[in-house]
């Protein structure tokens, strides 16, 4: 077990599968044998050489920030985890003592590091991480589902909570890739009525299969009229954009009811908020939602369990680590939705 296979993204659409040394955990660290690790749209920023999270060297760090697996070695100071535990891994490694870390928002820490961007990530056979970053997963949850439960489902669960999704909600979700599809699952599990919007027909059909109450092509002439009808005439109580498209932002803000809450999840450089129309007269609450607090994970697992959320449905393709070049090329070409390395 001295060497392992690992994937690197040096940029310019290059993918390198290398043999590297298996890391040795320190006193407060663990070694996880990775069984599943998802590809995320943000990984393409590394693939192209323009990382959305700066400060790392993609030639130096193994990529991948959505892993799950089995603990195979623990440091001498680790008491909460043991060899054989099934775990997912929280992507942000913080200092552990600042205010953000103490509330579970490791990714807000001024000293934080991110798996796959500024430290070694999970697209490898093994991963060394601080024990406090482990998320214990229940018996019966597959490693594939555990990996998807973090960045994809966990992020959208947190966005739904911030938007206030419950049984009285009429929610719009724009962009039905893996994140938006996870949002449909999370919002339905929380009791909301969901309108799902995407110009791609196959994505709309999948969202319908996942339980969306209404699916729409946002470019259709009657899309806004149908959203108004869906919401009972006043507008959506909440909206979540996963597309990052300014046109989707416009539509979400326009179709939101007075006092509604709107979350932007999809990465984007700019938007077009009309201050008077959206922020002042409608008194909308508009915010970004990036990830989830590690303190939310127990609730995430409870929702998955209580509502029998089948996260494996989000995985459209699986690959071996040695197929990484094919996996990233297909993902970049949108020939896959949620792609996952499995072992």
Question: Do 299 and 271 fall into the same domain?
Answer: no
Both 273 and 146 in a single domain?
Answer: no
Do 308 and 188 sit in the same domain of this protein? no
Together in a domain, 133 and 170: no
Question: Is 17 in the same domain as 125?
Answer: yes
CATH code where residue 207 lies = 3.40.50.720
Given 268, 288, 308, the domain boundary residue is: 288
Residues 308 and 170 in one domain: no
Q: Are residues 223 and 303 in the same domain?
A: no
The pLDDT, as a whole number, for residue 274 is: 87
Q: What is the sign, positive or negative, of the torsion defined by CA atoms of 145, 150, 153, 157?
A: positive
pLDDT mean for each 10 residues of the chain (343 residues) = 93 96 98 98 93 81 98 98 98 96 96 96 98 97 98 97 97 98 98 98 98 98 97 97 95 97 90 86 95 97 98 98 98 96 96
The beta strand positions in 170-255, using DSSP E, are 170-174, 193-197, 214-216, 236-241
CATH number of the domain bearing residue 27: 3.90.180.10
Nearest to 31 by CA among 88, 83, 90: 83
- Please report the pLDDT score of residue 1 as a whole number: 63
| 175 lies in the same domain as 229 | yes
pLDDT score of 173? 99
For 188, phi then psi, to 5°, come to: -65, -40
Same domain, 53 and 111: yes
In this prediction, residue 188 carries a pLDDT of 98
Backbone angles phi, psi at 329, to 5 degrees: -65, -45
- The number of domains in the chain is 2
Cβ atoms 18, 6 nearer than 8 A: yes
Same structural domain, 23 and 106: yes
Of the three residues 266, 288, 310, the one that is the final residue of a domain is 288
Q: Which domain covers residue 240, as residue numbers?
A: 154-288
Burial 265-290 (b: 16+ CB within 10 A, else e): bbeeeeeeeeeeebeeebebbbeebe
Specify whether 86 is located in the same domain as 107.
yes
pTM across the whole model: 0.94
Note whether 270 and 206 are same-domain residues: yes
pLDDT at 59: 78
Q: Which residues contact 95 (CB under 8 A, 6 or more apart)?
A: 101, 109, 110, 111, 112
- Point out the domain boundary residue: 245, 263, 288: 288
Q: What is the CA radius of gyration of the chain?
A: 20
Tell me the C-alpha distance between 6 and 79, whole Å: 28
């Amino acid at each position: 077990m001295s060497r392992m296979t690992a994937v690197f993204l040096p940029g310019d659409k290059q993918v390198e599968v290398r043999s590297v040394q298996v890391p040795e955990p320190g006193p407060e660290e663990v070694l996880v044998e990775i069984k599943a690790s998802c590809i995320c749209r943000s990984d393409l920023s590394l693939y192209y050489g323009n990382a959305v999270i700066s400060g790392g060297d993609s030639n130096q760090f193994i990529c991948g920030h959505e892993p799950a697996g089995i603990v195979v070695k623990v440091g001498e100071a680790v008491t909460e985890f043991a060899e054989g535990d099934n775990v997912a891994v929280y992507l942000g490694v913080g200092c552990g003592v600042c205010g953000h870390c103490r509330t579970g928002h490791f990714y807000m820490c001024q000293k934080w590091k991110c798996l796959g961007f500024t430290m070694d990530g999970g697209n490898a056979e093994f991963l060394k991480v601080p024990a406090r970053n482990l998320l214990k997963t229940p018996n019966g949850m597959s490693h594939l589902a555990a990996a998807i439960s973090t960045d994809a489902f966990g992020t959208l669960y947190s966005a739904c909570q911030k938007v206030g999704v419950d049984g009285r909600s009429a929610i719009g979700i724009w962009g039905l890739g893996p994140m938006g599809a996870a949002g449909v699952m999370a919002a339905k599990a929380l009791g909301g009525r969901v309108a799902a919007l995407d110009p791609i027909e196959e994505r709309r059909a999948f969202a319908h299969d996942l339980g969306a109450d209404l699916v729409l092509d946002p470019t259709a002439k009657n899309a806004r009229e149908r959203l108004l009808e869906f919401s009972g005439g006043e507008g959506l109580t909440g909206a979540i954009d996963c597309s990052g498209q300014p046109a989707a932002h416009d539509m979400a803000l326009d179709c939101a009811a007075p006092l509604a809450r709107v979350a932007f999840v999809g990465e984007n450089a700019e938007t077009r908020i009309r201050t008077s129309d959206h922020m002042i007269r409608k008194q909308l609450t508009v915010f970004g939602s990036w990830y989830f607090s590690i303190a939310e994970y127990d609730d995430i697992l409870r929702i998955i369990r209580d509502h029998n959320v089948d996260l494996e449905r989000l995985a459209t393709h699986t690959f071996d680590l040695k197929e990484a070049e094919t996996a990233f090329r297909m993902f970049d070409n949108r020939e896959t939705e949620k792609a996952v390395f499995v072992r």
